[in-house]
Amino acid sequence: MAEIAPFRGLRYNPQEVPDLSQVTIPPYDVISPEEQRDFYEKNPYNFIRLELGPASPEDSPTNNPHTRAGALIQEWTRQGILLRNPSPSLYRYELDYRTEGEQSKTRKGFICALRLEDFSSGRVRPHEKTFQAVKDERLDLMFACNANLSPVFALYPDSGEQVYSALCHQAPPDPAVSFTDAAGMAHRLWPVTERPTIDRVRELMLEKPIFIADGHHRYETALNYRNALRKRYGGGNPNASYEFIMVYLTDMNEPGLTIMPTHRLLRNLGDRDCERFVEKAKYLFDIERFEPRNGNLPKWKEALRAGGVTGNTTIGVYWKGCVHVLTAKKDAVASLLARKGTPPALRTLDVVVLDNLLLREILGLSDQFLADDRNIAFTHDFAEAVEEVRSHKFDAGFFINYTRIEQVRDVASAGLIMPHKSTYFYPKVTSGLVINPLFPDEEIF
């Protein structure tokens, strides 16, 4: 089902840029304006100049962040800052990192080209909604650069770890790229050029569905780019470079795969108060109260996490000194969601229960209210969210457990879309390791 291929990637020349920690960045959509400035000033070859260049009051249709990025790729290639791999390659990639609880993990995967498939084929499966304005902006950048600058993060099922084992076969012990970034994460990259290994990995991947974890906008943008170039060039070559997209793939059974929860912070709640909210919630939830003293907050957090371990929908509420854990009454919640037309695969998602029942049904918040960033904020950091409420920057915080990988699989397999901010795969895939140039007259493999 998944047709992957090697490609001749553009990578930083280690003779010119020996320390990749100075030039690599997170994905564009998690970079704050302050971080954007810091990356820009960090190094003249920092990848921010390509992925998210700064705007200027003098920008025009012919001179703007996108056109400047396209010119820079050409300039850096001429200068030898970027070198193209001489042979088509897969790129085995390992990342060492620590979770919020300081647990050490290693996520293993690889970067490759993936044949673009319309979602209707079922071979590539999304799970999140996209926004047209973002896709339009990314498409402008893609046309200016004629490249996949950063990979889509996607998953495949492989309980026997056959794919990654095949990638490691007869591999050199030392990676071609090795560096530790500012966050303390260690990155290692091995280009794989041996044809028997590549053929074996391609064969193993053929029967596997692909689940997009992160990068839905990038994937749909690549579809739009492909469709435009098919019209321009007649669409006669199924192996043209624009028929593929650069992806980072990892096994969904990989122990190093982490999904973080996304907590909700609310302000401008008016005369709504916690006690009335809790009373209204009793018909759908069993409720445990905690005194909001510092010594009790760890117990509250532990009770929230314990529910997630057992598979129960548990939601923590911290509201102006009113601290509770709400555990869903499964039958009552499932029945109400069914009456609202919620598909079965979505009814067990903590984020669906929170957004649809607690925030909309019980608190009575409108879609318009919840779409306004003056009223709602999102964070993955539990301690940060508690402090935001404690310091009165927000009226209330609603805390959830992470979405489990099997839930992502079930939702995507059913052709459904999760609510906004349902998953946060951590860490994000670093941008700047490899670029996939797209030349219309060039075949990917």
Domain ranges of the chain: 4-258+426-437, 262-401
- Residue 53 above 80 pLDDT? yes
**pLDDT at position 99, please?**
86
pTM of the model: 0.91
Q: Residue 42: count other Cβ atoms within 10 Å of its Cβ.
A: 15
Report which of 35, 385, 387, 292 is spatially closest to residue 376, judged by C-alpha positions: 385
Mean pLDDT computed over 93-120: 92
Cβ atoms of 185 and 63 closer than 8 Å? no
DSSP state of 284: T
What pLDDT score does 169 carry?
86
Q: How far is the C-alpha of 143 from the C-alpha of 354, rounded, in Å?
A: 40
Give the per-residue pLDDT at 236: 78
The pLDDT of 262-287, averaged and rounded, is 93
Taking residues 10-24, report their average pLDDT: 97
Run of H or E residues at 165: helix 162-168
Total Cβ atoms within 10 A of residue 254: 19
For position 249, what pLDDT does the model report?
Answer: 97
d(CA 142, CA 219): 12
Query: Per the structure block, which two tokens stand in for 42?
Result: 């960090």
- Sort strands 104-115 and 90-98 into parallel, antiparallel or unpaired: antiparallel
Least-confidence region, from 192-196, 265-269, 307-311 = 307-311
User: Any residues with CB less than 8 A from the CB of 45 and at least 6 apart, and which?
Assistant: 12, 16, 17, 22, 23, 76, 81
In the chain, how long is the greatest CA-to-CA distance? 68
Q: What is the tens place of the pLDDT at every residue in 353-373?
A: 999 999 999 999 999 999 898
pLDDT of residue 36: 94
What pLDDT is stored for residue 294 in this prediction? 63
Report the mean per-residue pLDDT for the chain.
Answer: 93
Q: What is the pLDDT of residue 295?
A: 66
Query: CB within 8 A of 109, min separation 6: which ones?
Result: 92, 93, 94, 164, 248, 249, 250, 251, 254
* pLDDT of 257: 93
